[in-house]
Chains A and B, each alone.
Chain A
Amino acid sequence: SQTIHQWPATLVQPVGSPLSLECTVEGTSNPNLYWYRQAAGRGLQLLFYSVGIGQISSEVPQNLSASRPQDRQFILSSKKLLLSDSGFYLCAWSYGSTDTQYFGPGTRLTVL
């Protein structure tokens, strides 16, 4: 069976510090991968998605970036965090563009 992991689970970072969130999927190959952000009490905002190694599509221009160094690894990064980067970050995977997306447990990021 397939599982998706995210770490860390929670993170508190000062403004201006770097960020690295990791997502890994087990039990499948060549999945589509997604990063979402959810601000407190709000809906889901798609940040990035990837259909293969090294292939990243950005949905929202901002100070975040994503990379996919391995088939089942998806990393969300920032060089300098802003207060507005606070939120709940969710990673998801799917077999294809219209297949069910399965979500990880999320990372709760607080930028102070």
Chain B
Amino acid sequence: AQKVTQAQTEISVVEKEDVTLDCVYETRDTTYYLFWYKQPPSGELVFLIRRNSFDEQNEISGRYSWNFQKSTSSFNFTITASQVVDSAVYFCALGVYNFNKFYFGSGTKLNVKP
């Protein structure tokens, strides 16, 4: 069975703090893809990153970085020097071949206070 767990329901930080959002996934398939999306207050989901199961190289994009570890089935997302504009709900998702759908986590609401 496929499953994604985002144990942190809500996180509050002060601007310029670093924050890490956790994502743990479950699948028995060897080929799969992991995603992060951002949902700002406007509601539309914005795609942030896609990672395949064969590429464990960490990725950095500006203040965003992602740590993929197959050994712990985790795909964590770190925001460095957070800003108020980072306030949103962040979703982690798992896509598996032969299943025409994603498995989404329940989301983590990030509040960045000035």
Contact = CB atoms under 8 A, between A and B. Distances in A.
A109 B47 CA distance: 23
Q: How large is the interface on A (under 10, 10 to 19, 20 to 34, 35 or more residues)?
A: 20 to 34
A77 to B, nearest CB: 20
B47 A98 contact: no
A103 B102 contact: no
Contact of B104 (A43, A57, A102): A43
A34 B99 CA distance: 13
Contacts of A57: 100
Contacts, number: 57
A42 to B, nearest CB: 8
B101 A97 contact: yes
A40 B96 CA distance: 28
Nearest to A4: B44
Interface stretch (A16-24, A44-52, A67-75, A78-86): A44-52
Q: How large is the interface on B (under 10, 10 to 19, 20 to 34, 35 or more residues)?
A: 20 to 34
Contact of B101 (A49, A103, A108): A49
A34 B50 contact: no
A46 B101 contact: yes
Given A97-B95, A104-B44, A51 B102 contact: no
A51 B101 CA distance: 10
- Counting chain B CB atoms within 10 Å of each CB, the highest count among A43, A90, A98, A104 belongs to A98
Interface string A27-46: 00000101000000011101
